[in-house]
């Protein structure tokens, strides 16, 4: 099925550093989303993007919807230990048959060393 | 906490058996989607229910079936379990069809098939 290519697969950083991760696809998406998943929990929505070129912030998090509608990135500034977790990009494909189905990337595992 | 509850939280089944997983959607939400998340992967869309009818299905065989009840709670049934069905099964509810960006995920049911 349709896949989003998310990179990097994992990151090991020091507290206070900035983090950047991205997602790309060969298909066009109408909506890009970024989620965080903690162990034993379901994904929690961090940021939603609805228009090409849109840049949206949520506290220390900033995400952008790529101009081509085929990519998105997420930045985390001044990382803290509670940022540890798995980050997923997700999108809703353009076209009338997507039924609101979310397509997820493979995830980026973030480890923050104090 | 999202208000979406899933039961049971953990389950062990034998290959060939059948399993039923349950999801109570958030109050006021009439759309429920189910996702399968294999270890180390992003969630994969199984299907979506809106007003008690299936409205969109991912690339899963017919032995994966579901129901939605008048109170909008939902069940996922899997027949003839296979080892590869071992995964975290996530339920997400949203307030209306197509509003998947406002979907809230439950904590998931961890299914192990032995």
Task: List, for residues B19-37, the tens digit of each pLDDT value.
Answer: 999 999 988 888 899 999 9
* Residues on B contacting A at a C-beta cutoff of 8 Å: 2, 4, 31, 33, 35, 40-45, 48, 55-56, 58-59, 90, 92, 94, 97-101, 103-108
Average pLDDT over chain A reads 92
Using 50, 70 and 90 to split pLDDT, how confident is the model at B94? confident
User: How distant is the Cα of B86 from the closest Cα of chain A, in angstroms?
Assistant: 15
Which structure tokens are listed for B82?
């296979």
Which segments of chain A are extended strands (E)? 5-7, 10-14, 19-24, 29-37, 44-49, 55-58, 61-65, 71-76, 85-93, 103-104, 108-113
Looking at beta carbons, which residues of chain A come within 8 Å of B101?
31, 33, 45, 48, 50, 92
The ranges of chain A with pLDDT < 70 are 1-2, 95-99
Render pLDDT for B51-81 as a digit per residue (tens, 0 to 9).
899 988 999 999 999 999 999 999 999 999 9
């Amino acid at each position: 099925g349709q896949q989003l290519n998310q990179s990097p697969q994992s990151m090991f950083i020091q507290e206070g550093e900035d983090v950047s991760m991205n997602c790309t696809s060969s298909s066009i998406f109408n909506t890009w989303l970024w989620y965080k998943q903690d162990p034993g929990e379901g994904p929690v929505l961090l940021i939603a993007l609805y228009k090409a070129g849109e840049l949206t912030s949520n506290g220390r998090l900033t995400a952008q919807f790529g101009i081509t509608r085929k990519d998105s990135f997420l930045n985390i500034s001044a990382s803290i230990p509670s940022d540890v977790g798995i980050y997923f990009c997700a999108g809703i494909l353009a076209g009338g048959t997507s039924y609101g189905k979310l397509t997820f990337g493979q995830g980026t595992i973030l480890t923050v060393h104090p | 906490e999202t208000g979406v509850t899933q039961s049971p939280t953990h389950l062990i089944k034998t290959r060939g058996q059948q399993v039923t997983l349950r999801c109570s959607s958030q109050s006021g939400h009439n759309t429920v989607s189910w996702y399968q998340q294999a270890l180390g992967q992003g969630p994969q869309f199984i299907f979506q229910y809106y007003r008690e009818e299936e409205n969109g299905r991912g690339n899963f065989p017919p032995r994966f079936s579901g129901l939605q009840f008048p109170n909008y709670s939902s069940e996922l049934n899997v027949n003839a379990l296979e080892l590869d069905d071992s995964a975290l099964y996530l339920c997400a509810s949203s307030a209306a069809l197509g509003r998947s960006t406002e979907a809230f995920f439950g904590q998931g049911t961890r299914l192990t098939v032995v």
